[in-house]
A and B are shown apart, each in its own frame.
Chain A
C-alpha cells in the first residue's frame, strides 16, 4: 500500500511542468524515504533526477517499494483537474497497475479521484557519483531562465565560463554573438537575489541551449538555481522544491572534436 498526501497540489503540478519537457514517461520509485524519479531524455544527453522526501508530505505511507511507470502527459491531464489549493493524495495498491489521485478541496466539500493506468517502463538507472564540483554558482532562477532564453536566440550552444569574478554566459551564431556577465554580489542582502560563486578552479563548458531552456521550466519551483560544474563533467542544475526535496538536471557538455573531419 502506498499513500502520499501533499497539501499543496501546486508543487506536484510544478514538478510535472518541470520534467515533462524532457520526458514523456517516467518511473516514480516510491520507497520509505520518499518518491524518487530518475530518467534520461531519449537522446541520453540530459538526465532528470527528482527527489521528494517522505517527511515533506503531509502523510506518507509506503509498505513496500513500488515503481510506478507513468505517462507524464496523462499525469499532467489529471493534475490539471486539481485546483492549486487542493490537497492531493496519491494512492496505489502494492500490486496494482493503477495509481489513484485524490483531490480534496480545502474545505472538504469536494473530493475527486482519478485513476491512472501505470506503464511497464524500461528502467535505466544511472549511477551518479557524488562529485565535488570545481565551481558552484548560485543565482536567481528567474535570471538564469532569462539568460538562457536570450542566448538561445543566438546559437545552439551556450558557453558558461566561471571565474572568480563571476560567471559569463556567451553564445555565438549567424546573427552575431552575445555575452552576459554576472558579477558576484558583494553584499548579500537577500539571498534569493544574490549571485554567488564558489570556485576551486575556473571552468568553461559548452552546453546545448535547448536543454538549458528545458531546465528553466522548473523556475517556478524555486527562487534560486544552483549550477555545479567541473571540467569535462556534466553540468548540474539544481532547483529546490520547497522544503520537501529537489530536482536536479544533468546535462552532458559539448566538447571539441579532437579529430578533424
Chain B
C-alpha cells in the first residue's frame, strides 16, 4: 500500500506522540487499511482466522480511540480508481500466482515427503530423527494436510515426479485434486464442498453413529492383543477429531461461510489427529503435542497397503480423467448419437468406443504420466476383454438400456445443454477444483449404479448432484442448499427405514418413485459428466466402475452401496475381508467414515429429488433392476482389471505381473460367475449382496497381494542406491521440506479478501458507537487528506503513505501498533526535512512505484530522491511538474551522459527499465486532483449505545454482557468526563525550533536533500563526496586544496592531510576547520556547528561546480576541464568572503 519505501524515508521526521495529547482531536481514520490488516492478522489461539475478525478488530480499535477521547471520523474506501485497478490487477496476478505457487509448493512438499518416507523405511534405524522432523513440521504448520491424504498424494505425485513438463504439471495437478477430493480423503473433501450447516449435520450424525454402532466394529479389533491399545487410541483420536470439526462447523455456522483456506485448515486439523504416528494436538492445548509411535513393522505394512490402494486410486483417477477429457471433447450431440449407436451395436461398438476412450485418455495422459501409460493401456485392454466376456451376459440389458436410453435421451440432452453452461465456467473459472468435485461425483455415481436394486440410484443422483452443486456452486441457489441440509437431517432416518422396507418387500410405490426418478436423474447427470458414455451401457459401466476404482478403496464403493441399502451388517461384513487381508486399521476406519458421509449426503439429495415430480417411473424401474446386475458384474470385472493394471504399472517385473495375472484370471472367472449369478437373480437383493461380498473378498485378496508387492518394491530400489546416498538425499529432502513449508505458509497468507458485507457490518458498528463515517467516492486516503486540508479534521490516522500525495497535513502512524510509538508526521516537517512538497512526493511515487503506478524497477526512495535532486522541476507550476522527470527520461535514453550530480546515478540506473508512458500525467493528476466528497459539513458525535452494543457483541462475538461491559464501561466513563486536559501550546507561544532531524538521516539522503533544497538556484552540483574515482574530480579537489593553501597558509598542513583522507570520506574536509567558521548566531551549539560547517562547505562546492557547468546538464568532461581556471577564482572568492 502507498508509495513504496516512502515511510522508511520519512521516518526520521516523525515524532513520537503520547496518545493522551490527542484528546479531543478530530482525526480521520482510514478504515480500509484496517480491515485488511485485521482480516489477515487476527487469529484465535489455534492460529485459525476468527469469524468476524474485522468487527472484533474494529471494536477494539474504536474503544481505544474513544478511550483516549479522540473524536474519530471513519473514512471508507468507495470506488477504486481506474489507475489503482490496473495496479491492483497486476497485484492480483501476483496473488494468484502466489496461490498457484502455494499449491505447487504443497505438492512438492508431498513429493518430498514420499521420498522421505521411502528413505526412512530404507534407512530404518539410521533415520531416527525423521520422525522428529515430521512432528516438528506439524508444529510449524497449521495448514498441514491430513496424513491420510498425504499418503495418497505422495503415491500419486510419486508416480508423476519423473515427468514434469508444464503441461504435465497441469494435468497432474488436476489429477491430484481429484484423488484428493473423492478418493483420498472423502472425509475432508466433502467438507470443502459443503456449507457449514450441512457439515454440522453430517458430523453430528457421524458422532451419533459412532456411539451406536460400536458393536458392529468388533471385527476391527486387532488380532493381537498387544495392538488393542493402539486401536483404542486411534478410535479415541478419531472421535476427538470429529468433535473438533463439529465444533468448528458450529462456530462457522455462526459466522460467514467458509473460505477454502479455512476449510483446508479445518481438515488438516482433523487429519493431524487421524494419523496416530504423527504428533498430535490435544484440543485444549495448543502447545503440547503427543507423538504416538506404533510398531515399525506394522506401520510399514499399513503404509504399504494403503499405498497399494492408493495406487489403485491414482491409476483409476487417471482413467477417470481420461474419460472426462473425452467427454469434453465429444460433447456435441453427434457424439452422443454415435455412442448410442455404439450401444445398439453392442460388442463391436463397445470395442470401438472403448478404443476411442482409451486413445483419448492416452493422448491426454501419456504426456503427463509417461510411466503409467503402459499400465493404463494394459488396464484398458483388460477392461475391454472383460467387456467382451460380459457382453454375452449383458445383451438383454443392453437392449433394455437402449429403450431406456430413448426415454432418457431427451432429458439428457436438455440436461447436457443446461449443464454445459455451468460446466464450462466451472472448468475455466473454478478450475481444477470443480472438475475434481465433478469427478468425485462421477465416481460415486458409478459406484452407486452398481446396485440399483437398492437405493444406489438415489445415491447416484444425489452424488452427481453433489458434484453439480459443488462444481457449480454459484449456479445452485442457496435455498436449495439450505433445504438440502434441512431435509438431510430427517431424511437419513427416513431413507433407512425405506430401505429396510424395500429389502423385506419387493418395492412399494413410493420407493419406486424415488428410485426411478433418482435413477433417471442420476443417469442424466452422469451422462452429462461423461457425455459420450451412456450410463447404462456396459461401456459406461466399465468406465464408471473404473472411476469407482478410483475411489482409492475398492471396498469403498461396495461398502458404500451396502450401507446405502441400509444394512449395517453388510457394511461390516464387507469391510471385514478387506480388513483381514490388508490388515490395515487406519484405512479401514477411514473407509467406514467415508462411506457414511456419502451415504448421508446421498440421502439428503435423494430426498430432494423425491420431492420433485417423477415421470416414467415404472419403465425405468424395470430397466434399473436389470441394469444393476450388469453393472455389478461389470464393476467386479473392472475392479479386477483396474487393480491388475495397477499392479502392472507398479511392477514392471514380468514374474510379478504374471503371477498377478494368474491370480487375476482366477478371480475373474469367479467374478464372472458371480456376475452371472447376479444376472439370474436380479430381483433378489440378498443374492446381490452375497455377490458383492464375494467380489469384495476377491478384491481384498488382490489388494493384499498388492500390499505385498508394494512392500517389496522399496527393497528393490534400495539395492540400487547406497545407504550413504540415501542419507544425503534424505537430509537434502528434509532441508527442502523446511524451505517449502516456509514458502507455502507465506503464499497462503496472501489470499483473503474484504467483502462488502464487512463494510456494512463495520458501518453498523460505527453507528452504534455514534461515530461519524464517510464513504469516500474513491480513495479513503484522498478523502482523509481533503478533510485535513479543510481543517475539518486535525489529522489522519493511517499507515498508508498515499495520504501525503493527496495532500495530507498531519498523519499519525503506528496508531494501533502496540510495539511502536505513535508517530506524528507533519507535511511541514517533511518539507523542512526533505525539501519534499506534495508535488515532489508525487514525482517520487512515480519513480518508486505506488498504488497507481508500478514505478521504475530498481529505484528506491533514496535513489529517487537523488534523481529528483539531479533533475529539478522547472518552476512551481503544476502544469510542468513532470518536466524534471521528462528530462531524466531523456537523459537516460541519451545514454546517461556523465553530468554533474549524475555520476552515481549512472551507476545505479544501469539496469532500470522504464515503463511505457513514464512519467504518467494521469498518475500525477490522480494524486493532485483526487475525487473526493467536497462537502464541508462538520462532523458530530453521538454517545455509544450501550444496549445495542451489548446485543451486537453477543451476536457477533458471542460475548457475555459482563465481557462487553468490561471493555465498554471504562471507555464510556472516559467519554463522560466533562473535563479535558489543555495543552500548554495553547497558552504559550512556541518559538520556532531548530531542526535537529538531520542527524538521523543517512548521508546519502542528506546529500540528496541538500541538493533538492537548492535545486532551484543551483541546477547541478557535483557530489564530490560520492567517492567517485574519475580523474577530474580528484584534480578538482587538488586545486581546491591549493586555493585553500593560498588563502590560509597556516591551515595548509591540516588541509593536505584532509585531502589524503578524502578518498575515504568526503566529509573530512569539513571537519578539519571548524574554527574558521564565524559565529553566526549569538548562541553556540557545538553539535550544530559541524552541521553548519558541512552545509557551508557543500554550498561552496555547489557554487564552484555550478560555475564550471553553468550551461546545463549535458556537459562533457572535456568542457569541464576547460573551465578549470574559473574554478579557482570561484573558490577563492567564496572562501575569502567566508573567512572574513
Q: Which residues of A contact B (CB under 8 A)?
A: 29, 40, 42-47, 64-67, 69, 93-97, 118-129, 157, 206, 208, 233-234, 250, 252-257, 261
Contacts and interface: CB of A to CB of B under 8 A. Distances in A.
B279 to A, nearest CB: 48
14 contacts: A46-B984, A47-B984, A64-B1079, A64-B1084, A65-B1083, A67-B1085, A96-B1086, A122-B994, A125-B990, A126-B989, A127-B989, A234-B988, A257-B24, A261-B71
Interface in B567-612: none
A97 B979 contact: no
Given A123-B994, A127-B991, A252 B1087 contact: no
A101 B1085 CA distance: 19
Helix, strand, loop or mixed for chain B's interface? mixed
Given A65-B1084, A252-B987, 15 more contacts: A42-B16, A42-B18, A45-B21, A64-B1079, A67-B1085, A97-B1087, A119-B1087, A122-B993, A125-B990, A125-B991, A129-B988, A206-B979, A252-B983, A257-B978, A257-B979
B981 A127 contact: no
A144 B1086 CA distance: 41
B1036 interface: no
B1084 A254 contact: no
Contacts of A253: 982
Contacts of B981: 45, 208, 252, 254
Which 9 A-B pairs rank lowest in CB-CB distance, beginning with the nearest?
A: A126-B988, A120-B1087, A252-B982, A125-B991, A95-B1086, A254-B979, A127-B989, A43-B18, A43-B21
Contact of B1085 (A40, A66, A124): A66
Interface string B1075-1090: 1000100111111110
Contacts of B987: 233-234, 252
A82 B987 CA distance: 39
A84 B18 CA distance: 36
B879 interface: no
Contact of B999 (A29, A65, A120): A120
A230 to B, nearest CB: 11
Nearest to B18: A43
B1074 interface: yes
B980 interface: yes
B1085 A254 contact: no
A35 to B, nearest CB: 14
A46 B996 CA distance: 22
Contacts of A252: 981-984, 986-987
B943 interface: yes
Contacts of B994: 122-123
Nearest to B1075: A95
B1001 to A, nearest CB: 13
Given A123-B993, A127-B989, A95 B982 contact: no
Nearest to A47: B984
Given A95-B1074, A95-B1089, A123-B994, A67 B984 contact: no
Contacts of A42: 16, 18
Contact of A118 (B24, B985, B1086): B1086
A66 B18 contact: no
B391 to A, nearest CB: 87
B984 A234 contact: yes
Q: Which one of A44, A127, A250, A257 has the highest number of Cβ atoms from chain B below 10 Å of its Cβ?
A: A44
Interface in B995-1010: 996, 999
B914 interface: no
Contacts of B333: none
A127 B985 CA distance: 10
B980 A43 contact: no
Given A123-B994, A127-B989, A254 B24 contact: no
Contact of A40 (B20, B24, B978, B984): B984
B142 interface: no
B975 interface: yes
A257 B984 contact: no
Contacts of B292: none
Interface string B240-264: 0000000000000000000000000
Contacts of A255: 979-980, 982
Contacts of B1084: 64-67, 94-95
A95 to B, nearest CB: 4
Given A65-B1084, A67-B1085, A120 B989 contact: no
B941 interface: yes
B982 A254 contact: yes
Contact of B943 (A64, A66, A261): A261
A157 B1083 CA distance: 40
B202 to A, nearest CB: 51
Contacts of B941: 261
Contacts of B1075: 95
Contacts of B1083: 29, 65-67
B979 A250 contact: no
A126 B984 contact: yes
A206 B978 CA distance: 12
Interface in B1079-1132: 1079, 1082-1089
Contacts of B985: 44
Given A42-B18, A95-B1074, A252-B982, A65 B993 contact: no
Contacts of A96: 1086
A250 B1079 CA distance: 34
Contacts of B21: 43-45
Contact of B1087 (A118, A129, A257): A118
A40 to B, nearest CB: 6
B978 A256 contact: yes
Contacts of B989: 126-127
A79 to B, nearest CB: 22
Contact of B1086 (A97, A121, A125, A157): A97
A69 B1085 CA distance: 9
Nearest to B980: A257
B289 to A, nearest CB: 45
B288 to A, nearest CB: 42
B62 to A, nearest CB: 14
A47 B988 contact: yes
A44 B984 contact: yes
Contacts of B24: 257
A94 B1075 CA distance: 11
A252 B982 CA distance: 5
A43 B17 CA distance: 7
A62 to B, nearest CB: 10
A161 B980 CA distance: 18
B983 A45 contact: yes
A127 to B, nearest CB: 4
A114 B42 CA distance: 51
Contacts of B979: 157, 206, 254-257
Contacts of A93: 1086
Q: Which one of B975, B988, B1075, B1083 has the highest number of Cβ atoms from chain A below 10 Å of its Cβ?
A: B988
Contacts of A97: 1086-1087
Contacts of A125: 990-991, 993
A124 B993 contact: yes
Nearest to B1074: A95
Interface string B1-35: 00000000000000010101100100000000000
A126 B991 CA distance: 6
A184 B71 CA distance: 43
A94 B24 CA distance: 45
Nearest to B989: A127
Contacts of A234: 984, 987-988
Contacts of B993: 122-125
Contacts of A66: 1083-1086
A118 B988 CA distance: 28
Contacts of B976: 261
A38 B982 CA distance: 19
B286 to A, nearest CB: 38
A190 B759 CA distance: 70
Nearest to B995: A122
B991 to A, nearest CB: 4
